[in-house]
Protein backbone atom coordinates (compact mmCIF):
# COMPACT_ATOMS: atom_id res chain seq x y z
CA UNK A 1 0.00 0.00 0.00
CA UNK A 2 1.12 3.56 -0.73
CA UNK A 3 0.34 6.28 1.85
CA UNK A 4 -1.38 9.19 0.13
CA UNK A 5 -2.67 12.50 1.42
CA UNK A 6 -5.51 14.16 -0.47
CA UNK A 7 -4.52 17.70 -1.55
CA UNK A 8 -8.21 18.67 -1.62
CA UNK A 9 -9.44 17.66 1.83
CA UNK A 10 -6.21 16.58 3.54
CA UNK A 11 -7.51 13.09 4.20
CA UNK A 12 -4.73 10.52 4.55
CA UNK A 13 -5.27 6.99 3.25
CA UNK A 14 -3.47 4.08 1.65
CA UNK A 15 -3.77 3.60 -2.10
CA UNK A 16 -3.24 0.12 -3.57
CA UNK A 17 0.22 -0.57 -5.04
CA UNK A 18 -1.30 -1.04 -8.50
CA UNK A 19 -2.34 2.62 -8.49
CA UNK A 20 1.28 3.85 -8.15
CA UNK A 21 1.83 6.78 -10.49
CA UNK A 22 -1.84 6.86 -11.41
CA UNK A 23 -4.81 8.87 -10.24
CA UNK A 24 -6.71 7.40 -7.32
CA UNK A 25 -10.07 8.50 -6.02
CA UNK A 26 -9.96 10.05 -2.53
CA UNK A 27 -11.90 7.87 -0.10
CA UNK A 28 -13.35 10.91 1.66
CA UNK A 29 -14.17 13.64 -0.86
CA UNK A 30 -14.04 11.60 -4.07
CA UNK A 31 -11.53 13.90 -5.79
CA UNK A 32 -8.84 12.36 -7.98
CA UNK A 33 -5.50 12.15 -6.19
CA UNK A 34 -2.15 11.50 -7.85
CA UNK A 35 -0.52 8.47 -6.18
CA UNK A 36 3.30 8.62 -5.94
CA UNK A 37 5.08 5.73 -7.59
CA UNK A 38 7.36 4.48 -10.34
CA UNK A 39 5.53 5.83 -13.41
CA UNK A 40 5.72 9.40 -12.07
CA UNK A 41 9.16 10.78 -11.12
CA UNK A 42 9.26 12.04 -7.50
CA UNK A 43 8.76 15.78 -7.33
CA UNK A 44 7.17 15.76 -10.77
CA UNK A 45 3.67 16.92 -11.56
CA UNK A 46 2.24 14.89 -8.69
CA UNK A 47 0.20 17.24 -6.48
CA UNK A 48 0.88 15.18 -3.36
CA UNK A 49 1.67 16.76 -0.03
CA UNK A 50 3.49 13.72 1.39
CA UNK A 51 6.73 13.75 -0.64
CA UNK A 52 7.56 10.30 -1.93
CA UNK A 53 7.12 7.77 0.89
CA UNK A 54 8.26 4.95 -1.40
CA UNK A 55 11.76 6.41 -1.56
CA UNK A 56 12.10 6.66 2.22
CA UNK A 57 14.67 4.08 3.31
CA UNK A 58 16.56 3.94 6.62
CA UNK A 59 20.17 5.07 6.41
CA UNK A 60 23.03 2.71 7.08
CA UNK A 61 23.89 -0.65 5.57
CA UNK A 62 22.56 -2.76 8.45
CA UNK A 63 20.39 -5.34 6.72
CA UNK A 64 22.34 -5.34 3.47
CA UNK A 65 25.68 -5.82 5.26
CA UNK A 66 24.23 -8.59 7.39
CA UNK A 67 22.83 -10.40 4.36
CA UNK A 68 26.22 -10.24 2.61
CA UNK A 69 28.03 -11.34 5.80
CA UNK A 70 25.61 -14.26 6.11
CA UNK A 71 26.22 -15.25 2.51
CA UNK A 72 30.02 -14.99 2.87
CA UNK A 73 29.95 -17.00 6.12
CA UNK A 74 27.75 -19.67 4.52
CA UNK A 75 30.09 -20.01 1.53
CA UNK A 76 33.17 -19.99 3.82
CA UNK A 77 31.56 -22.70 5.97
CA UNK A 78 31.06 -24.85 2.89
CA UNK A 79 34.68 -24.28 1.82
CA UNK A 80 36.05 -25.01 5.33
CA UNK A 81 33.96 -28.19 5.60
CA UNK A 82 35.99 -29.69 2.75
CA UNK A 83 39.23 -29.47 4.77
CA UNK A 84 39.83 -32.94 6.23
CA UNK A 85 39.94 -33.34 10.02
CA UNK A 86 39.07 -29.70 10.84
CA UNK A 87 35.92 -29.61 8.72
CA UNK A 88 33.76 -29.57 11.84
CA UNK A 89 34.88 -26.02 12.73
CA UNK A 90 32.84 -24.92 9.70
CA UNK A 91 29.85 -25.22 12.03
CA UNK A 92 30.83 -21.90 13.61
CA UNK A 93 30.60 -19.74 10.45
CA UNK A 94 27.66 -21.83 9.21
CA UNK A 95 25.55 -21.18 12.32
CA UNK A 96 26.64 -17.52 12.48
CA UNK A 97 25.81 -17.15 8.79
CA UNK A 98 22.42 -18.75 9.30
CA UNK A 99 21.55 -16.40 12.17
CA UNK A 100 22.73 -13.33 10.24
CA UNK A 101 20.80 -14.41 7.15
CA UNK A 102 17.59 -14.96 9.12
CA UNK A 103 17.93 -11.52 10.74
CA UNK A 104 18.71 -9.97 7.36
CA UNK A 105 15.75 -11.71 5.78
CA UNK A 106 13.43 -10.59 8.58
CA UNK A 107 14.55 -6.96 8.28
CA UNK A 108 14.92 -6.89 4.47
CA UNK A 109 11.29 -5.97 3.83
CA UNK A 110 11.22 -3.26 6.50
CA UNK A 111 14.49 -1.79 5.20
CA UNK A 112 13.20 -1.93 1.64
CA UNK A 113 16.06 -4.15 0.52
CA UNK A 114 16.00 -7.07 -1.85
CA UNK A 115 15.97 -10.46 -0.14
CA UNK A 116 18.37 -11.99 -2.69
CA UNK A 117 21.57 -11.87 -0.62
CA UNK A 118 19.77 -12.90 2.58
CA UNK A 119 18.16 -15.89 0.86
CA UNK A 120 21.51 -16.88 -0.68
CA UNK A 121 23.14 -16.67 2.77
CA UNK A 122 20.34 -18.71 4.28
CA UNK A 123 20.67 -21.40 1.61
CA UNK A 124 24.49 -21.56 1.84
CA UNK A 125 24.46 -21.73 5.65
CA UNK A 126 21.70 -24.34 5.72
CA UNK A 127 23.46 -26.47 3.10
CA UNK A 128 26.69 -26.19 5.13
CA UNK A 129 24.93 -27.21 8.37
CA UNK A 130 23.31 -30.22 6.67
CA UNK A 131 26.41 -31.07 4.64
CA UNK A 132 29.07 -30.94 7.40
CA UNK A 133 27.72 -33.85 9.53
CA UNK A 134 27.23 -35.96 6.40
CA UNK A 135 30.76 -35.19 5.22
CA UNK A 136 32.25 -35.90 8.65
CA UNK A 137 30.26 -39.13 8.91
CA UNK A 138 31.63 -40.20 5.53
CA UNK A 139 35.22 -39.36 6.55
CA UNK A 140 34.91 -41.07 9.94
CA UNK A 141 33.13 -43.98 8.28
CA UNK A 142 35.81 -44.44 5.65
CA UNK A 143 38.56 -43.99 8.25
CA UNK A 144 36.99 -46.72 10.40
CA UNK A 145 36.65 -48.88 7.33
CA UNK A 146 40.32 -48.28 6.44
CA UNK A 147 41.40 -49.21 9.97
CA UNK A 148 39.36 -52.40 9.75
CA UNK A 149 40.75 -53.40 6.35
CA UNK A 150 44.32 -52.74 7.52
CA UNK A 151 43.97 -55.32 10.26
ZN1 LIG B 1 -10.13 14.19 -0.40
| pLDDT tens track for 31-61 | 999 888 765 444 444 444 444 444 444 444 4
Nearest CA to 80 among 97, 60, 105? 97
**29: CA distance to ligand 1 center in Å?**
4
Q: At what angle do helices 62-81 and 91-111 cross, to 10 degrees?
A: 160
- What average pLDDT does this structure show over 58-85? 76
Kindly state the DSSP code that residue 137 receives in the 8-state scheme: H
d(CA 151, CA 128): 34
Q: What is the H or E stretch that residue 135 is in?
A: helix 116-150
Q: Give pLDDT tens digits for 106-118.
A: 888 777 777 888 8
Q: In this structure, how many other beta carbons lie within 10 angstroms of the beta carbon of residue 25?
A: 13
**85: CA distance to ligand 1 center in Å?**
70
**95: CA distance to ligand 1 center in Å?**
52
- 14-28, 29-43, 78-92: least confidently modelled range: 29-43
Amino acid sequence: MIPVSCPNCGFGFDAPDESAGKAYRCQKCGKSVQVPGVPVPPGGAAPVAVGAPVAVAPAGGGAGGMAIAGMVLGISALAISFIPCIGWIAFLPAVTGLVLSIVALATAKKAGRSKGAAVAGLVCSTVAIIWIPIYIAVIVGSAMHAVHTLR
